[in-house]
Amino acid sequence: MLEIFYKGKHFFVEDDPARPDKKPSGVEKAVVDEIVAADHEWNFVLDAFAGDGVSSYIFSEHARRVLALEKKESKFDILWQNVLPIDNIEVEHTDNVKFLEKALREGMEPPSLINLDSFGNCRAQLRPALDWMKNGTLLVTTGEIEGIYRNSPFVRKNYDEIKGRYIGKEAVLWAEKEFIPNLIKEFPQLHPVHFYTEPSSVRVVCEVGDIFKFTSETKKKLAQRPKYLDWFKDAINLFKRRE
């Protein structure tokens, strides 16, 4: 366990790629969260894989209410300590699929932003999340790209259509050519505005429905951010030279 300061606030964090102080994917995640959060004042934000709570903290600066969910007990203990002093963040130790299903059953008022920042994939959460929130913003992450480039049969069983492809450096193309198009095909209410990818994750920023739109300033700031991090930067340049 590490102790860091992010924007002057103390956090306990694990030494993983999501660290917002040093690791490239963690730093970029925080930057993108800051840009999205500042788009306007959010009424209700759901951080469904809250982890250490850094994203919840970022959203709380531009939201009336943030609900941070965490299922894993050890992570929830960290989350609770990190965000306890922040008045507009509520925490709940629960399974996020069960929570989303309950929200639908009980007709809870939907959030205007849902952050699905999963370590693996969030297939189970996507359908109820989008059944609940018809208009707003969805941030969706998959960590499956690591299994794609490592040719893991446990990950690739979910993607039979890419058999023999996107192994090794070619995986840099998977987000734009496979993951995002298939995401839109399954959920046509999603309108991707920005994505970035690196060896452990793909993250996509989406407008949901036909009513909500990011400001032109937000879109401009997102467009200026890199789409490929870590060794993926060199890999994408290699493939672009071949085209």
> Among positive and negative, which fits the CA dihedral 218, 224, 227, 232?
negative
Percent of the chain with pLDDT over 70: 100
pLDDT per position as a tens digit, 14-52: 888 788 988 888 999 999 999 999 999 999 999 999 999
CA–CA–CA angle 217, 127, 55 (5° rounding):
45
Average pLDDT, the chain: 95
Answer whether residue 56 shows pLDDT above 80: yes
CA–CA–CA angle 15, 17, 20 (5° rounding):
80
pLDDT per position as a tens digit, 63-72: 999 999 999 9
pTM value?
0.95
Q: What share of the chain is helix, strand, coil (3-state, %, to 5)?
A: 40, 25, 35
Between 20-29, 45-54, 139-148, 209-218, the lowest mean confidence (pLDDT) is in: 20-29
Q: What is the DSSP string of 193-235?
A: EEEEEETTEEEEEEEETTT----HHHHHHHHTS-SB-TTHHHH
Average pLDDT of the segment spanning 71-88 = 94
Answer whether residue 242 shows pLDDT above 80: no
Answer whether residue 243 shows pLDDT above 80: no
Note down the domain range covering 37. Answer: 2-242
Average pLDDT of the segment spanning 176-195 = 97
Answer whether residue 94 shows pLDDT above 80: yes
What pLDDT does residue 238 have?
Answer: 87
pLDDT per position as a tens digit, 152-161: 999 999 888 9
What pLDDT does residue 120 have?
Answer: 87
| Domain count across the chain | 1
DSSP state of 121: -
Please tell me the distance from the alpha carbon of residue 176 to that of residue 161, in angstroms, as a whole number. Answer: 15
C-alpha dihedral (118, 123, 124, 125), degrees to nearest 10: 60
- CATH number of the domain within which 7 lies: 3.40.50.150
